[in-house]
Chains A and B, each alone.
Chain A
Amino acid sequence: MPDTAIAEAPAKVATGGNLLQVRNLEAWYGESHILHGINFDVNAGEVVTLLGRNGAGKTTTLKSIMGIIGKRTGSVKFNNEEIIRATSDKIARMGIAFCPEERGIFASLDVRENLMLPPVVREGGLPLDQIFELFPNLKERLNSQGTKLSGGEQQMLAIARILRTGASFLMLDEPTEGLAPVIIQQIGHTIARLKKEGFTILLVEQNFRFASTVADRYYVVEHGKIIDGFSNAELAANMDKLHTYLGV
């Protein structure tokens, strides 16, 4: 296993203008110590992908940034403001939005209610007509129960509802998991479009072939640490290493 110094990983790829700065982030689920000092940066307007095997700590990293892990230490700065001790509702109101791996569609709400659920936290969110332009399926199914949608439609709904809120920094946890290739392609187009619109995106993916179509930079997470990082231009040169990291 390559033994890359974790502190070097962000320095190697970050280019300044940090929107998010994570330093020595540690997190626990009960007694289990999951994150052992995560360091990385995300610059405004970038799509950054966290890669890694199952159980490496990618989802926990997103949840720790979002403030929904019970115990966490270290430093997470968003727009230069420390948020490590903030509650998740305050973090959301600062402009960070989270789309969980399990999608989190509410069964007791219809599609319209699911879509309108997250409150607008600041100006600049996408208006509904633009959201329906991105996800035309949703418009046709507004009155269906949220969990009656197909897996792909649920994923679209999960992404769509956080675009309304005005959050500028989106964290998407494995948005392509379990989806058909044609839907994955559509989600890829959506992420590319969102990047053009000025959103900053932190993506967790196991499917690096998909990630390579949208990401500017990558970090590799293993055993609760960032062990490597490179830009999309360096992807080809790092392919062998990446295969080793991900075990594919």
Chain B
Amino acid sequence: MQALYAQLLVGLINGSFYALLSLGLAVIFGMLNIINFAHGALYMMGAFVAYFLLNIGGINYWWALLLAPIIVGIFGMILERTMLQWLTGLDHLYGLLLTFGIALIVQGVFQNYFGSSGLPYAIPDQLRGGMNLGFMFLPVYRGWVVVFSLIVCLATWFLIEKTQLGAYLRAATENPTLVRAFGINVPRMITLTYGLGVGLAALAGVLSAPINQVRPLMGADLIIVVFAVVVIGGMGSIMGSIITGFALGVIEGLTKYFYPEASNTVVFVLMVLVLLVKPTGLTGRAA
């Protein structure tokens, strides 16, 4: 039973990263209509920025949680202004190829300087240790990752679904020309939205650093699963990507317990089944 709970916890943690990353992808796809293949590289950059902040600037984890998403978000906004904005109105394939190229370049540069092995990033003192819950031992940091990710995901959902700014975003997703003709600077809003999506990826990177170490290919390993999550949840659906992210993490964890051989493929099997039954995803809209 202990092993089952442990796998459930691992599933929830992986689900947290899936949810944060697929949420960013959903926000970016909804607003920019771009399938952001650079998302994994930007997640990795988030972890590296936290590493640099600590080792060069002496800036701790808590500040990194704030600063890394801002720094990588600004990098993302520069990418959007200088490259992605020119793809407006073109087929999805162009955005996918461009962001795939960006991902390869960014990962290549980091691999060139840091190799492929992981760099250590310590768990902050306040989150060390664990709690005995009676039925299982819960490492505090892992519990923190799940709770904090859930809060960030729900805050993002609230921002998009329940605020005036979110209404602008949703309206601009449907008809950017008309929203702009109401007096809203839509191009600036698109840039900021890309920055928000990228910032979420970077935040996931910072959260991941103490668990998975900081590696140039950490995003490349994860992004394929995250894309499967997004396809299952439905491209562009905010709540769909959050729920699917956590749910698939848990399903993966349970598979590791009950049938470990299938744990690496269960998400892709589900993706195939969903594509066969409902090609737009469980909660998605048609692209």
Contacts and interface: CB of A to CB of B under 8 A. Distances in A.
Nearest to B175: A104
Contacts of B185: 89
A118 B175 contact: no
B173 interface: yes
Contacts of A106: 170-171, 174-175
B182 A119 contact: yes
Interface residues of A, number: 25
A165 B183 CA distance: 10
Given A89-B186, A104-B175, A109 B181 contact: no
Contacts of B164: 116
Interface in A144-180: 162, 165
Residue of A109, A117, A162 ringed by the most chain B CB atoms within 10 A: A117
B167 A109 contact: yes
B180 interface: yes
A132 B184 CA distance: 25
A97 B167 CA distance: 19
B168 interface: yes
A32 interface: no
A240 to B, nearest CB: 38
A92 B167 contact: no
B42 to A, nearest CB: 27
A87 interface: yes
B55 interface: no
Chain A facing B: main interface SS: loop
A106 B176 CA distance: 11
A35 to B, nearest CB: 18
A40 interface: no
Contacts of A107: 174
Interface of A: 66-68, 87-89, 91-93, 97-98, 100, 104, 106-109, 113, 116-119, 121, 162, 165
B177 interface: yes
Interface in B174-205: 174-175, 177-186
A108 to B, nearest CB: 4
Contacts of B183: 89, 92-93, 118-119, 121, 165
A108 B182 contact: no
A118 B182 CA distance: 5
A242 B81 CA distance: 50
A109 B180 contact: no
A109 B170 contact: yes
Given A106-B174, A107-B174, A108-B173, A113 B167 contact: yes
Contact of B180 (A68, A116, A121, A165): A68
Interface in B144-180: 164, 167-168, 170-171, 173-175, 177-180
Given A106-B174, A108-B174, A66 B182 contact: no
8 contacts: A68-B180, A88-B177, A89-B184, A92-B180, A92-B181, A100-B178, A116-B167, A165-B183
Contacts of A68: 177, 180-181
A92 B184 CA distance: 8
Nearest to A118: B182
A185 to B, nearest CB: 27
A67 to B, nearest CB: 7
A121 B183 CA distance: 7
B171 A117 contact: yes
Residue of B178, B183, B184 ringed by the most chain A CB atoms within 10 A: B183
A66 B181 contact: yes
Nearest to A97: B182
A102 B170 CA distance: 18
Given A89-B183, A107-B174, 9 more contacts: A67-B181, A89-B180, A89-B181, A89-B182, A92-B183, A106-B170, A106-B175, A108-B174, A109-B170
B166 to A, nearest CB: 9
Contacts of B179: 117
B168 A88 contact: no
A119 B180 CA distance: 11
A119 B164 CA distance: 10
B173 A117 contact: no
Nearest to A67: B181
A97 B184 CA distance: 12
A104 B175 CA distance: 8
B182 A92 contact: yes
A104 B176 CA distance: 11
A91 B183 CA distance: 7
